Amino acid sequence: MVLEIKKISKNFGGIQALTDVSFSVEEGEILGLIGPNGAGKTTMFNMITAMYPPSSGVISFVGNPLSNLKPHQITEKGICRTFQNIRLFSDLTVRENVMVGNHCRLKTNVMQSVLRTKAQKAEEARVLATSDEILEVVGLANDKETIAKNLSYGAQRRLEIARALASRPKLILLDEPAAGMNEKETNDLFNLIKKIQTLNITVLLIEHDMPLVMRVCSRIIVLNFGKKIAEGTPSSIQNNKEVIEAYLGVEEEDELA
């Protein structure tokens, strides 16, 4: 088991965002975390990545509780994420954006950088090579020198994933990666998520694009009003009465396909 969520609750003042949610993420799987708007999905990501602590419950990563860690320590342990809205360094090149993502794996210090020691030069070469490999994986190898803001929307979203991958994670959390994408971009994203799986990286995916979720995930967890209402294979989720009811009457984009 890569990640274990055990009886997690979170309240913000009077708002109960999550209540006693438990589930596990198995090594190598692509697990979907779905639910109507406000169900608590992003709150779950924010707790896994230590943006804020749970009100109660325990989150464990490869058997170790993640309590009392800072977000950068979570990254060092091997969990990375992308966000709902694009958060690139828009005036840096594609390659520079990925190099920044590699930061947490650097071993040389500021003094070594200033003095341009041998170790520092070797590390710089390693970062460059790793960044280029990752850009190859996400299909941006020909755009290394492009300024991030000049990429197409779909390519910018793939660059975000590349930056997350640069931290060399065991687990990647993707928060609505298909949001705003056209059909071709979504299809490219499907292929990319599958490719990430082949790199031995486990995927936890929040997504409103139901056809994509049903196609790419091996298992799905459904939240509604902060509670887990279902867990199972895509076909069992599609036919689950409580899940269908939870999605009835919500915005069109949320509807189960």
* Minimal distance, residue 250 CB to ligand ATP, in Å: 10
Q: Which residue has the tokens 């300024």?
A: 147
Three-state DSSP state, 41: helix
125-130 long-range contacts (CB < 8 A, ≥24 apart) are 127/99, 127/102, 128/95, 128/99, 130/102, 130/166, 130/168
d(CA 107, CA 128): 15
Q: What is the DSSP letter of 48?
A: H
The amino acid at 41: K
For residues 38 and 211, which CB has a smaller minimum distance to ligand ATP in the complex? 38
* Minimal distance, residue 230 CB to ligand ATP, in Å: 15
| Cα dist from 193 to 13, 19, 125, 224, 251, whole Å | 36, 29, 27, 25, 26
For residues 17 and 171, which CB has a smaller minimum distance to ligand ATP in the complex? 17
By the 8 A CB rule, do 48 and 9 touch? no
For residues 99 and 174, which CB has a smaller minimum distance to ligand ATP in the complex? 174
* Minimal distance, residue 47 CB to ligand ATP, in Å: 10
For residues 27 and 251, which CB has a smaller minimum distance to ligand ATP in the complex? 251
For residues 38 and 234, which CB has a smaller minimum distance to ligand ATP in the complex? 38
* Minimal distance, residue 101 CB to ligand ATP, in Å: 23
* Minimal distance, residue 40 CB to ligand ATP, in Å: 4
The amino acid at 71: P
* Minimal distance, residue 245 CB to ligand ATP, in Å: 17
* Minimal distance, residue 15 CB to ligand ATP, in Å: 5
Give the pairing of strands 227-232 and 3-12: unpaired
Please, is 14 exposed, middle or buried when counting C-beta atoms within 10 Å of its C-beta (0-12, 13-18, 19+)?
exposed
Per DSSP, helices labelled H in the chain are 41-48, 71-77, 94-101, 110-115, 118-137, 153-165, 183-198, 210-216, 234-238, 241-247
For residues 190 and 225, which CB has a smaller minimum distance to ligand ATP in the complex? 225
For residues 98 and 243, which CB has a smaller minimum distance to ligand ATP in the complex? 243
Which stretches of the chain bind ligand ATP, using CB under 6 A? 12, 15, 17, 35, 37-43
